[in-house]
Amino acid sequence: MTHVVILGAGIAGVSAAYALKAQLGPHDEVTVVSDKPYFHFVPSNPWIAMGWRERSDIAFPIAPYFEARGIKFIHSGVKRIQPDVIQVDLENGDVLFYDYLLIATGVTGMSDAIPGLAEHTQSVIHIDQAERALAAYREFVRHPGPIVVGAAEGASVLGPIYEYAFLVDADLKRRNIRERVSITLVTPEPWPGHLGVGDEGGSRGAVTAALVDTRISVICNARTVRVDKDTIHVVELDAAGNEKQTHALPYAYSVYWPAFGGVPGVRNARGLVNERGLVVVDEYLRNPDYPNVFAVGACVAQPPAGKTPVAVGAPDSVYAIQKASEIAVQNLLALIRDEALVSHVPQRAKWLSDMGSTGATYLSEPQVPLRDINWMRQGRWVHQAKVDFEKYFVNKIRLKPAGPAPSVASRIAEVVSRLQAGQSSEPTPSLQTGGGKPLEIRLAQDPCFELRALAKSVGRDPGALAAELLAAALTDAKSYLNEAGVDALAHSRRELLVEELPERQPGVEFHGGGT
């Protein structure tokens, strides 16, 4: 019997737990440990901080979904990892012994590294912080003033600082108070849109143009040195790393992205982590000194893509974390089965950033060295794609494990029963007049007569009835899909969505047009 312990119940940990339990033997065990009893979709935290999402939209108790799959869940923080004796000590007093350990705890923000940062600024790394940021923002809009959105020296995954700045701009315009608020973005990057990637590509001009269009000021090569109650002190360096200028930025509201460090129970694990408490791994996502210990997600120590005047951490995304999780699972199983391991590089890095009613997408391929493909596009389709991805991922986590096939007499039966009872239903567009491109369906003669006869018997238009029955049949059909089928369906749906929207036409680049 093999026992795999997974630390963390976030995007990486839950995905890995589901995959491992599905592929391990019936007598093997998977145990997940988390200091929080819920899963939450971290990329939507900026929306929480703007009041555009409720906590219940992106967070829910995870124990029932683990239990349905036969995965043991322990709600407790990690006190200590002892890899020499293959043991994890938990804060609740439990001791877990493992054959394989997968660390996916996420990170903690090192806000204490800058005096006053934790005390005077908001953060959106965790959902609780995002809710506090929302409360502070609602107070701010009653008494508007300058806003500073920033990232500390060494901060990683910098896409959210741009996303939040653009979201604030969009929200203030909706409130008709944008003219009363200045927005300044403070970043350690050498230029806007660097994102820790290290190559300009088309991103520098694209992001700069977007900032100009939204009248968001930016200070690059910025090292934040101190935060007072109403002033943020920043030193701007030149390309050689010498002090160029100092800034004393007044603010009435500020959100900052601190540098990442390991969570308390992980950062003290000698031989596993670097000086910031992030887990050191090789190209197979396992620790070089303890090959039965793997790590994925933001808790992994990643080297910067290149040297910059002010330290900039490496990028990451849900896409990259998903891929890393898949490869970590594959390699863990390979060790068990004595098979060859697979490197996790190169791979692509993707970001979807919301800008209010529009959005921006960024693609780099491969992730190492992150220089072969480098482009950014914008438009309403990106905003919709991010909304769609959030729904897809949350629904995937909530997906029930394979079980008995559902009854055929389900949604279609409901439709027919309602028709027989003479009850009105929600208006449904016909197959010829629906949104997007018309869907032409050719029926053989017998089904066509049957449809027309059924429609006549219940007093409905044949096209409207066909559309309603088809929608019900699709709902039933999707209920038969397994997890791989759900993934394929979601992927195909996003591709079709992007193709249908007008902003996806050739030549519509992120050129600095209005947002």
Q: Which residues pair with 235 in a beta bridge?
A: 223, 246
Residue 189: both structure tokens together: 């990057």
pLDDT of residue 304: 81
Write out 159-189 in H/E/C secondary structure: HHHHHHHHHHHHHHHHCCCHHHCCEEEECCC
Residue 336: both structure tokens together: 């068990």
d(CA 282, CA 328): 11
3-class DSSP state for residue 290?
Answer: coil
Residue type, 409: A
DSSP 279: B
3-class DSSP state for residue 147?
Answer: strand
Euclidean distance between the first and final Cα of the chain, in Å?
A: 56
Rama region for 271: left / alpha / beta (φ>0; ψ in -120 to 50; rest): left
Residue 242: both structure tokens together: 């010498």
Residue type, 498: V
pLDDT of residue 373: 35
Place of tokens 């600024």: 121
Residue 467: both structure tokens together: 């559309």
Locate the DSSP E strands across 344-442. 349-354, 359-365, 373-379
pLDDT of residue 280: 95
210 in Cβ contact with 167 (< 8 Å) = no
415 in Cβ contact with 425 (< 8 Å) = yes
pLDDT of residue 505: 37
Helix (H) or strand (E) holding 475: helix 462-478
Domain annotation for the chain: domains and CATH numbers: 3-108+261-344 (3.50.50.100), 111-259+351-394 (3.50.50.100), 411-479 (no CATH)
Low-confidence ranges of the chain (pLDDT < 70): 198-203, 345-389, 400-413, 415-416, 419-420, 422-438, 479-480, 483, 494-495, 497-515
d(CA 356, CA 123): 19
Helix (H) or strand (E) holding 396: helix 380-398
Place of tokens 């594959």: 330
Rama region for 224: left / alpha / beta (φ>0; ψ in -120 to 50; rest): beta
The packing angle between helices 380-398 and 483-500, to 10°, is 170
Phi, psi of 232 (to 5 degrees): -110, 125
Task: Return the number of other C-beta atoms located less than 10 Å from residue 173's C-beta.
Answer: 16
60 in Cβ contact with 39 (< 8 Å) = yes
pLDDT of residue 424: 55
* DSSP secondary structure letters along 37-48: SEEE-GGGHHHH
pLDDT of residue 355: 45
Residue type, 358: T
Helix (H) or strand (E) holding 31: strand 29-34
* DSSP secondary structure letters along 236-284: EE-TTS-EEEEEEEE-SEEEEEPPEE--HHHHT-TTTB-TTSPBP--TT
What are the CA-CA distances from residue 26 to residues 14, 20, 30, 64, 325 (Å)? Answer: 19, 11, 11, 20, 22
β-sheet with 72-75: strand ranges across: 72-75, 29-34, 3-7, 100-103, 293-295
